[in-house]
Every structure is written in C-alpha cells, then in structure tokens.
Amino acid sequence: MTRSIDAPTLRADLLDGGEITLVDVREQGLYGANHLLLAINIPLSRLELDIRPMAPRLGTRVVLCDDSGGEAERAAEFLAAAGYSDISILDGGVGAWGAAGFELFSGVNVPSKLFGEYVEHHCDTPNITAEELKAKQDAGEDVVVLDSRPIEEYRKMNIPGGIDAPGAELAYRVRDLAPNPDTLVVVNCAGRTRSIIGAQSLINAGTPNKVMALKNGTMGWHLAGFELEHGADRLWGPVSDQALSWSTAATARVAERYGVETIDAAGLERWRAEAEDHTLYLIDVRFPEEYRAGHLPGSRSAPGGQLVQATDRYIATRGARVVLIDDTGVRATMTAHWLVQMGWTYVRVLEGGLDGHDLETGAHVPTAPEAAAVELATIAPAELQERLDAGTIAVVDVADSISHRDGHIPGAQWAIRSRLADAAGKLTKAEAYAIACPDAGLARLAGRDLAALTEAEVVLLEGGTAGWVEAGLPVEEGTDGALDEPVDRYYRAYDRKDGVEAAMNEYLDWEIELINQIERDGTLVFPAFPGP
C-alpha cells in the first residue's frame, strides 16, 4: 500500500540515520529547476530501466516526489508491482516542501557539487586563474595540467597541453605524469568540483609537487578569452612500478587519516547474504574498459572521479553499504576517503581487489524484465528508408532532446516517453511508426506504450539512430519535429547553442552560492575531518 508523507515528516526521516531512498520522478529538466537536495532523479521515462540498480533492495523505504503532476502516483503503481514494499509519496510534491519553509535546489548532482565547495572552504584548496596559468605556460615555466574528467569530456575541449587523468587516477599516476617535484601541477575540469576535488586529492595524498586547482576550469579559460583544444588525445600511460609504490604508500596514509576501512572476501560474502536487510552497492572504480575486461559479478562501473562528482547517479539509498573495488587498492581508497567525508558511513574497500575472485566480462546490463517482455517487430535501416520514401511509415524519436537536436532521422518526430499519451495525438498519421532510440530498453518500452495508444503498426529500428548512421543514411539537425518542450534534460552551458558565456557565468555563480544554501537546508551534514 502506498502512503502519503508530509514535508516535516520526510525531513525527520531523512535525518534519522536509517536507509531511505528519495526519488524525484519528473523529467531531468523539471528536476533541475527545483528539487529537494537529497532527492535523486530517476525520470518516469526511465524508471523500469534504472530503479533496480539504483535501489536494489525491495524492502528499503522509498519516497517518491514530483510537482503534483501525477508522475509519483504512476511510479508508485509500477514500484508496487515490481515488489517494492515500503512506498510513500510526498504530499503536495516539491511545492509543499518549499511552502513548509525548506530549501529547494536547482541543478543536477548537487550534493557532490556542494561537497566540492565545502572542501575548498574547509581545506583552503589553492587555485590559479586562467590568466595566471596562461602566463606561466607562455613563459615556459615547468607546469603540467592534468584534466580530471573522463576521456569523452576531455576530447570535446581541454586546456592546451593538458593531459587526461580522471579523478581517482590522479594520485595513482601523478608520479609518472609529474616526476619532477619542482613541477607545478594544475588540475582542471569543466567548472569547479572536479578541479577542487582532484587538486585536494593530490594534496591529501602528500604529493611533493605544488598543486593548484584551475579556478573555474575550462569555463574560466574560455571566459578569459583563451582558446581551448578540441579532439586532443594526450592520455595516461601504464603505471610504473615507482608510481605504484609511491601511490600505495600514500593511500595507506590517507586511509589511516580519514578512517577508510576495508572488507575481506569473507566479510563481503556476509554482506551479500544480508542484502535483503541492508542495501549493498558493489562499485568498480577503474576505467570502464578495465571493468569490461573482467569484474566482480554484481558490481557496477563508476570510475572513482565520477562517483565523487555525481554520487547520486550511482547510489540512491542513503545509509546503504558501499564496497569499492579496483585492482591495487589505490583508486578505491582515494575514492573511499571522499565518500567517507561526504557522510557515507558504511563504505569499505575490498581487500586484495579482484585477486582470487571469479570474474565476469562485458558491460553491466541492468535487469529490466518489463523491457525484455516487449514483443515488437524490428525494421532494418534500409527498409525503413524505403518505407519513408513510400510514405507508409513515420519515425518517433524517443532519444534525449540533445541527441535528437544534434542528429536524427530526417522527418523524425521527437517525444518524451513519459508523455507519449499527450504526444500521440500530434503524430503524423501513418500506417506504421518506427521507434528510434540509442537505448534498446527505452525503445522497447516506448514502443509498447505507443502500441497501446494507436491502431497503427509499431516497429523498432534495428540499432536505433546509430544503426541508421552506420548504414550510411542521412541525418538532420534541429528541433522542428519536437512534440514537447525539451524538459527531459537539464541543459548545461556546453549543451546550449547560444548564450553560452552567460550560461557559464550563471553556472559558476550558482555553484559558489551552494555553500550558503547547504547551511540553510540542514539535511546534509558533512562529518568534521582535520585539514590535510
């Protein structure tokens, strides 16, 4: 049975120390406009696909919220059918939370971004402006720039000369990337959080170099009028024995200072056996390609820097048990020491890493029986083109709005899956509809939903839009075929086609202000630790 819960009671529950999973089921753009600090976002469009890995224990407390638009009730009906047994809906939604005098936040991954601002204030993390860094580079000073973002982000734009070394890789590889202790090490990201956390990671590890965060990251560089590189490919190399020896000793000191605990294989098996009573997350913090080459069964891939940067993308249940896994203990320990400081009490590093365990290969495939049960015919790209030319079929694109804008099948109409009932009446009339989407699971669910709304045939495009492109068929850009407002995504500065600089400044001001918002909110308190 689904219950309602008022805002004061929910606030008390968030502070009682027990397990609780607070889920905002609105589309990401609406969530990003205003939400509760500790609410993770699983849009109704993706609920069947994402809820089980995010909230794996069926008996944990689940509280759903929306803005009184009916999404929470629809989500509760699905969760009950899926076996979740303790479901509540926030009465009055996020509006009632604000009306009760409690703080609402904009943006995404806010707890992690708040933490970055807290770290800078608490540790007085040193920073360098874009102008100061550029002057040092132009003068030929001994400086190395380490970009703490994943390679996909780095390749889009980076500080000239920067080397990609994402998050948890920094302490692991710094002695190879900056072997001379007189070299100034500057850590950057797109904005602030990963610059601060990355630089402070190296400081906490006792790196002999002077380390500074690039103030405001690539945004600060761009706003200063300097050119960014695009498509760079300066990557890490294999970790040398000397670098591994140094980082192993350094992270042992970090673990002792910040109270990072380990768990052995027997302890892990006990936690696995207790997973019906205590939520358990197994998280592999290595590179995704390392994870795919061999990982612990039941674990998910979340590279360490990204886990700290966007904890709410991987861990939904507060009070859960979290086991971090890598091969040497260095990356897992550096990640764990941040999670401990963020207030995740039950964090452990797996002793011995992957040694002695039977491993699985390949990417993590979340359990989504609802998608697997969908039975719809498929259509090959070439056949779809023939039928489009004949005017006997129309394409419905349910990819995210940014992907649709940047390239879709000509004439495709874009819709948000959770709003298909409203969009169906606006679709071009056709004998059949083909669903295009890069996510096969989402395509199947959207196809099932559309089939219930129309008497026309509904088919799935083999390989989605990517399969269409691989077949050498044309795509077009733009949003002319949109049947709804693009509220499915929270548009960051780099996602915009115009007003980019204004959006950058707005974002940076917002991020800096977070330190004041957390004091007013009071639902997230970081444990007190000494400075480095």
Q: For residue range 44-62, list pLDDT tens digits in order.
A: 999 999 999 999 999 999 9
Contact between 508 and 192 (Cβ < 8 Å): yes
Give the max Cα distance, the chain: 71
Q: What percent of the chain has pLDDT over 90?
A: 95
User: What pLDDT sits at residue 529?
Assistant: 74
Where would I find the H helices in 281-431?
288-293, 304-309, 330-341, 369-372, 381-390, 401-406, 420-423
**What are the CA-CA distances from residue 206 to residues 202, 248, 254, 367 (Å)?**
6, 12, 9, 42
Q: For residue range 138-171, list pLDDT tens digits in order.
A: 999 999 999 999 999 999 999 999 999 999 999 9
Helix-then-strand count for the chain, H and E: 23, 21
Q: What's the pLDDT band for 228 if we cut at 50, 70, 90?
A: very high
CA angle (423 as vertex; 397, 28 as ends), nearest 5: 70
pLDDT exceeds 90 at position 418 = yes
Quickly list DSSP for 64-132. EE-SSSSHHHHHHHHHHHHT---EEEETTHHHHHHHTT---B-SSSHHHHHHHHHHHHHHT--EE-HHH
CA angle (482 as vertex; 105, 406 as ends), nearest 5: 80
User: What pLDDT sits at residue 519?
Assistant: 87
User: What pLDDT sits at residue 532?
Assistant: 59
For residues 529 and 341, give the distance between their C-alpha atoms in angstroms, rounded to a whole number. Answer: 7
Q: For residue range 299-355, list pLDDT tens digits in order.
A: 999 998 899 999 999 999 999 999 999 999 999 999 999 999 999 999 999 999 999
Mean of the per-residue pLDDT values for the chain?
96
User: What pLDDT sits at residue 530?
Assistant: 67
For residues 417 and 415, give the distance between their C-alpha atoms in angstroms, rounded to a whole number. Answer: 6
Mean pLDDT of 236-242: 90
Q: For residue range 319-332, list pLDDT tens digits in order.
A: 999 999 999 999 99
Q: What's the pLDDT band for 436 if we cut at 50, 70, 90?
A: very high
Tell me the two tokens of residue 245.
Answer: 């020896």
The three-state secondary structure class of 268 is: helix
Contact between 271 and 263 (Cβ < 8 Å): yes
Other residues' Cβ atoms within 10 Å of the Cβ of residue 6:
14
pLDDT exceeds 90 at position 197 = yes
Where would I find the H helices in 124-264?
130-138, 151-156, 169-177, 193-204, 217-223, 241-258
Domains of the chain: 3-107 (3.40.250.10), 115-251 (3.40.250.10), 257-350 (3.40.250.10), 375-470 (3.40.250.10)
For residues 443 and 464, give the distance between their C-alpha atoms in angstroms, rounded to a whole number. Answer: 8
Residue the block writes with tokens 């091969």: 327
pLDDT exceeds 80 at position 492 = yes
Q: For residue range 85-114, list pLDDT tens digits in order.
A: 999 999 999 999 999 999 999 999 999 999
Mean pLDDT of 470-488: 96
Amino acid at 487: V
Mean pLDDT of 274-287: 97
Q: Which helix (H) or strand (E) holds 29?
A: helix 28-33
pLDDT exceeds 70 at position 362 = yes
Q: What's the pLDDT band for 367 if we cut at 50, 70, 90?
A: confident
Contact between 206 and 184 (Cβ < 8 Å): no
User: What pLDDT sits at residue 531?
Assistant: 62
